Amino acid sequence: MGLIRICQMAVMTPKEVSQPPGPETIEQLFAALESPLLSYACRIAGEFAIAEDLVQDAFMKLHAQFAEVREPRRWLYRTVHNQALNHRRKSGKIISLNRPSPSGETPTDDTPDPQSLPDEEIARWEGIGLVRLSLETLDERSRELIRLKFHENLSYQEIGARTGLKASHVGYLLHHALKGIAGELAKNGVVP
């Protein structure tokens, strides 16, 4: 037994070591790795619902390219890791346009920040207006998905349950809707 195989076995769980080497089916991988991947994704992403979406997306991607993946266990962990980090990065960029009031309620009117300078406030209002105009260029379904995701803070699975779409399809549609908004904002010089 080579040094590399000994090192691999050292980091494996007893269950993994006892399994004979050879190809596993996607079902076997799901049964063996769903729970550990959920824990792993939850530690990185910080929310269980998001971890569920990430793991589901990773298994769907693996299913689509299962024949080409040589080491599916490593591939799954790497994919979940990358998706979780991408989610953390993106979630840090999302800023609510409605600020909570001192009573904890989200106001329906857009009141200015008393600490903002006038030119900053004008730029903020222009940006909000351009985002709203960009939203109007989207089809009704895309606008509804964006409202459910960002106004009601629903997960892909919850949105899928309300709309009858699969969670992965919700993610796909949201990605392209946000890409469309970014394109419109870039045309107007709001984002580079």
Give the model's confidence band at 125: pLDDT under 50 very low, under 70 low, under 90 confident, else very high.
Answer: confident
- Rounded to two decimals, what is the model's pTM? 0.40
pLDDT in tens, 18-38: 444 556 888 888 888 899 999
Kindly tell me if the per-residue pLDDT of 94 is higher than 70: no
Asked whether the predicted pLDDT for residue 121 surpasses 80, the reply is no
Task: Give mean pLDDT, residues 179-183.
Answer: 84
Measured between alpha carbons, how far apart are the two ends of the chain, in Å?
54
pLDDT surpasses 70 at 61? yes
Alpha helices in 12-139 (DSSP H): 14-18, 26-45, 48-64, 72-91, 118-136
Confidence of residue 101 (pLDDT cuts 50, 70, 90): low
- Picking from 51, 76, 35, 71, the residue whose alpha carbon sits closest to that of residue 156 is 51
Burial of 148 (0-12, 13-18, 19+ CB in 10 A): buried
Provide φ and ψ at 115, rounded to 5°.
-95, -5
Q: Give me the chain's average pLDDT, please.
A: 78
With 0-12 / 13-18 / 19 or more C-beta atoms within 10 angstroms meaning exposed / middle / buried, residue 136 is exposed
